[in-house]
Amino acid sequence: MKRIKFLFVLLFLLHFSAQLYSQEISFYYDEISDSLFPQSNSDQLIEDLTRQIWNESSSSWVNDSLYEHSYNTKNLVDTMIVHKWRNGNVWGNDGRWRYSYNSNNKLIQRIRDVWATTYWLEDFRNNYSYSAPNQNLSRMDYYWYMDNTWILYGYYIYSWNSNNLLSNVINYTLSTIGPWIYLATGKVEYYYDSTNVLIMKTELYSFYGYVWINYINDLYFYEQNGNNNERIRQDWNDTDSTWINDYRYLYEYDLNNVLLSIIYQDWQQDSLAWENVWRETYTYTPQNQIATMFKETWLLETGWNNYVLRDYFYDSNYNWTEKITYLWDGTTWNNYYRHLATWLEPVSVSETPANLESYYLSNNYPNPFNPSTKIKFTIPAVIASPDLAGTNQSQVVTLKVYDVLGNKITTLVNEEKPAGEYEVEFSGTDLPSGIYFYTLRTGTFFETKKMVLIK
């Protein structure tokens, strides 16, 4: 029974964990692979990202991987090609992602291709569907390409609560045991407090789609100012039907809500206490971008010990161009690997939509700014039912500003608004220079863009 359970858990994890995306704002660019929903930068578009490894014998950086991006006329990623360094002298194709979008700029398909010596071979794809009229993600299908045929291997069904927050995601997987049917094999449930802040996330799995069984649980804790200061991972204990602590993250901030450190601790069941494992501390540039990351490991005998150091470098547009990672050998820091990035100017896109049939969030102007800037957005008419056709129904609209760590700075708009074009002004008089993000959300739309304050 334990072996069968392990196999089902493993299958669930392989198909489920890598596919879920966070509904929370994320400003971190994955430097190794593309995100599930690729997003462009409103000021700059990443062109090439190169990973290099330090060669001690030659005392030089050696190429390893290259991620090449191209964009459509709306500045959305349409292709990302992964290259590997071949024979020490040339980039060779390795993998490719191709993206397609609907008229609302939402991702509707991504296809993964693998390089078969002389040509691209289709391998895997996702199709994305959105609810109408809410435009929330409602279903994601994943296919494998076998014997010149796309086979629907499984899909995810997304549910949203009345506050437009993700409430649960259920994974259905093709069963090859007995009849070929789709069985519910995994589920994630999200729980919020009265202020719509995420406080718990529970993952479950099932045998043949019949009974849901608890698997892992995440608990989120916050300071009074809203900063997430602790996250605890728990495992389900079948023996006594209880949750058992596994590990936790502790987050520390300064008086300006800037993240200073992350501590990772393991739970010791025998002593019923938390034990340090590693710690990361950060320093920042005057623009509140990470300047260094310092990682240490914990030993009971010696306390904190050097492990990894990373330096970040930026261009005049505040885009990172180089990240160098060093490894401690017990005496000194040594080059380990680095990432290099080049950036593109986005193509010119009309700042005014042709009609009021779709949502639109403009780039703020001016950008960079000091001390204020203006943000325009468009809200289309919503027809709640055929009986209301031709009427101008109001929608609840929020426009919020965040810092680079995702901490809310202010709420510019939070009210019902009828269809129309709007403009609001944001003042950074009391804020330090740096990068900020503004997010427009309604029951039918969600988008984030970047702005830079320079004093």
Is residue 72 domain-shared with residue 39, that is, in the same domain? yes
Q: Which of 304, 320, 344 is the last residue of a domain?
A: 344
Domain for residue 275, yes or no?
yes
The verdict on whether omega for the bond into residue 133 sits within 30 degrees of 0, i.e. cis, is yes
Is residue 123 domain-shared with residue 76, that is, in the same domain? yes
87 Rama sector, left if φ>0, alpha if ψ -120 to 50, beta otherwise:
left
Q: What is the pLDDT of residue 51?
A: 97
Nearest to 410 by CA among 383, 379, 439: 439
Is residue 236 domain-shared with residue 194, that is, in the same domain? yes
Which run of H or E residues covers position 427? strand 420-427
Q: What is the pLDDT of residue 448?
A: 83
Largest CA distance in the chain: 76
pLDDT, tens digit only, all 455 positions of the chain: 333 343 333 333 333 333 333 332 222 233 333 333 444 444 578 999 999 999 999 999 999 999 999 999 888 899 999 999 999 899 999 999 999 988 877 889 999 999 999 999 999 999 999 886 556 889 999 999 988 899 999 999 999 888 778 899 999 999 877 667 899 999 999 999 988 889 999 999 998 667 999 999 999 999 987 889 999 999 999 999 999 999 999 999 888 778 899 999 999 999 999 999 999 999 998 877 899 999 999 999 999 999 999 999 999 888 899 999 999 999 999 999 999 999 988 776 555 554 555 678 888 888 888 899 999 998 876 544 333 333 445 678 899 998 877 788 999 999 888 888 899 999 998 888 888 889 898 865 778 888 888 87
Is residue 287 domain-shared with residue 398, that is, in the same domain? no
Which run of H or E residues covers position 11? helix 2-16
Is residue 333 domain-shared with residue 421, that is, in the same domain? no
Is residue 226 domain-shared with residue 251, that is, in the same domain? yes
Domain for residue 262, yes or no?
yes
- CA 322 – CA 310 distance, rounded (Å): 10
Domain for residue 350, yes or no?
no
Is residue 156 domain-shared with residue 292, that is, in the same domain? yes
Is residue 368 domain-shared with residue 249, that is, in the same domain? no
Full residue range of the structural domain in which residue 91 is found: 2-344
Q: Which of 309, 344, 379 is the last residue of a domain?
A: 344
Q: What is the pLDDT of residue 258?
A: 83
Residue located via tokens 């904190």: 304
CATH code (residue 386): 2.60.40.1930
Domain for residue 353, yes or no?
no
Is residue 81 domain-shared with residue 222, that is, in the same domain? yes
Domains: count for the chain: 2
Domain for residue 354, yes or no?
no
The verdict on whether omega for the bond into residue 432 sits within 30 degrees of 0, i.e. cis, is no
Q: What is the pLDDT of residue 178?
A: 63
- CA 120 – CA 136 distance, rounded (Å): 32
Answer for the pair 54, 348: CB distance below 8 angstroms, yes or no. no
Q: Which of 297, 312, 344 is the last residue of a domain?
A: 344
pTM for this prediction = 0.77
Is residue 370 domain-shared with residue 423, that is, in the same domain? yes
Domain for residue 355, yes or no?
no
Q: What are phi and psi of 386, to 5 degrees?
A: -55, -30
The 10 Å Cβ neighbour count of residue 404 is 20
Domain for residue 238, yes or no?
yes
Is residue 387 domain-shared with residue 428, that is, in the same domain? yes
CATH code (residue 74): 2.40.128.720
Domain for residue 92, yes or no?
yes
Answer for the pair 217, 236: CB distance below 8 angstroms, yes or no. yes
The 10 Å Cβ neighbour count of residue 361 is 20
Can you say whether the dihedral through the CA atoms of 177, 182, 212, 7 is positive or negative?
positive
Is residue 241 domain-shared with residue 338, that is, in the same domain? yes
Q: What is the pLDDT of residue 156?
A: 96
Nearest to 42 by CA among 350, 362, 412: 362
Q: What is the pLDDT of residue 12?
A: 38
Q: Which residues contact 24 (CB under 8 A, 6 or more apart)?
A: 198, 406
